[in-house]
């Protein structure tokens, strides 16, 4: 009877999103194990993710399933278990992104192997949202994004650029080759550090395996592309202080980050445990408070809908190259990464989460800032 009651409750919730259990639409779920219902009601997002990885349910179009779920805010209608709620509370009290713990995401996610990322991403291994305005494929969209950042930074030959959270060095390479600047890049991923050091010899690029809090020096421009998601609410002010310290008085800072519309929306517990350890999404008020008294906000650009297309492109590459990748990873990894990429695509499609590029200056740009789009 408990199973039937749980199934009825889940069915009622899914109907709010237009989803039918074992239905015929590509976004309907196909249930392979009836234990799914009570698990989801008990553990919420954690239960939904784990049960998919274990093969308890399938869906032909996971991205559209999650778009409907997030649009209907079904995740807010299911109460997670007490352990998860306690962890969310602790996240507000404990600095899970301290200098000691900051390296965990590098080890657990970015150090998974260059083979995975080289096949899933494009030629420059850009692992942040692409810019699809005038692009027809992922390669063009990522080149457009890199150029957009360079234009927003107003780079000129001879300038020094600090790229905090530089990834595999794609922006550093693009800026050095196309805008004639020298670049210092910092990452907490050993694999990213080794890749950049090996591949960008001969360019005026200095890649450092270093936490952002230890950065020193003066730079004409600073960028932080896909970094703030890993910084944590407790450290936003510290990040802004580091950038302020390193940026010349007439410099420009571009912040590129995923964000949410709520002030204190807790992170998805499944994503935090299995994909991005200790991640937290910033909000508009939190970014504003962190920058208060340090910077003037010159421009705020939201192109979160482009992340939907980017994630779908990554997922297609991942699936296409799985015959090569499966010698390195198991079936659980395959389902876990499909779930990660497509659930995020659906969340961006529903406009539940956003992608922001924010331009800051220290004292305001004389005559005003003309933002490229």
Domain ranges of the chain: 2-80, 100-361
Q: What angle do CA 300, 257, 197 make, to 5 degrees?
A: 125
Please tell me the predicted confidence (pLDDT) of residue 56. 98
List beta partners, residue 186. Answer: 164, 208
Cβ atoms of 169 and 195 closer than 8 Å: yes
What pLDDT sits at residue 350?
96
Asked if 88 contacts 266 with a C-beta cutoff of 8 angstroms, the reply is yes
H runs (alpha helix) in the chain: 2-16, 36-53, 62-71, 82-93, 104-105, 114-120, 138-153, 170-179, 190-199, 236-246, 269-274, 284-291, 305-320, 322-325, 331-349
Predicted local confidence at residue 264, as pLDDT: 54
Most confident of 1-10, 66-75, 253-262, 313-322: 313-322
Q: Strand pairing of 353-361 and 296-302?
A: antiparallel
Task: Mark whether 344 is an active-site residue.
Answer: yes
Give pLDDT tens digits for 74-119.
Answer: 877 765 444 444 454 445 555 666 665 655 777 788 888 899 999 9
Give the CATH H-level superfamily of domain 100-361. Answer: Vaccinia Virus protein VP39 (3.40.50.150)
Six-digit token pair at 252? 């420009």
Question: Residues 67, 150, 246, 344: which is the catalytic one?
Answer: 344
Give the dihedral sign, CA 185/188/194/196.
Answer: negative
295 — pLDDT class (breaks 50, 70, 90): very high
- What does the mean pLDDT of the chain come to? 91
> CA nearest 38: which of 70, 81, 68, 67?
81
Q: Under a CB-based contact definition with an 8 Å cutoff, are residues 306 and 131 in contact?
A: yes
CA–CA separation, 53 vs 124, rounded Å?
30
What does DSSP assign to residue 229?
A: G
């Amino acid at each position: 009877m408990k199973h039937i009651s749980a199934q009825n409750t889940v069915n009622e919730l899914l109907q709010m999103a237009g989803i039918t259990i074992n239905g015929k639409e590509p976004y309907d779920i196909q249930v392979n194990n009836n234990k799914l219902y009570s698990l989801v009601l008990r553990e919420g997002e954690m239960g939904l993710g784990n049960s998919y990885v274990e093969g308890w349910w399938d869906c032909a179009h996971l991205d559209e399933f999650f778009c409907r779920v997030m649009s209907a805010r079904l995740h807010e209608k299911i109460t997670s278990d007490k352990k998860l709620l306690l962890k969310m509370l602790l996240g507000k009290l404990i600095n899970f992104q301290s200098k000691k713990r900051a390296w965990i995401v590098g080890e657990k996610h970015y150090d998974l192997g260059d083979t995975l990322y080289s096949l899933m991403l494009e030629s420059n291994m850009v692992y942040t949202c692409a810019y699809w305005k005038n692009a027809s494929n992922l390669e063009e969209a990522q080149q457009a994004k890199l150029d957009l950042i360079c234009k927003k930074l107003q780079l000129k030959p001879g300038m020094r650029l600090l790229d905090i959270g530089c990834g595999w060095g794609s922006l550093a390479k693009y800026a050095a080759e196309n805008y004639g600047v020298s670049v210092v890049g910092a990452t907490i991923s050993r694999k990213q550090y080794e890749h950049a050091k090996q591949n960008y010899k001969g360019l005026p690029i200095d890649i450092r395996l270093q936490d952002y809090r230890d950065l020193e020096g003066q730079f004409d421009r600073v960028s932080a592309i896909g970094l703030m998601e890993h910084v944590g609410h407790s450290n936003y002010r510290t990040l802004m202080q580091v950038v302020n310290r390193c940026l010349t008085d007439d410099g420009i800072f571009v912040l590129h980050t995923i964000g949410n519309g709520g002030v204190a929306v807790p992170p998805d517990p499944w994503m935090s445990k299995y994909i991005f350890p200790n991640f937290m999404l910033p909000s508009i008020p939190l970014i504003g408070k962190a920058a208060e008294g340090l910077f003037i906000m010159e421009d705020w650009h939201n192109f979160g809908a482009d992340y939907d297309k980017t994630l779908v492109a990554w997922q297609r590459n991942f699936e296409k190259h799985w015959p090569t990748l499966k010698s390195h990873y198991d079936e659980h990894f395959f389902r876990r990464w499909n779930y990660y990429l497509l659930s995020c695509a659906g969340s961006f499609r529903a406009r539940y989460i956003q992608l922001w590029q924010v331009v800051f200056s220290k004292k305001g740009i004389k005559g005003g800032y003309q933002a490229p789009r």
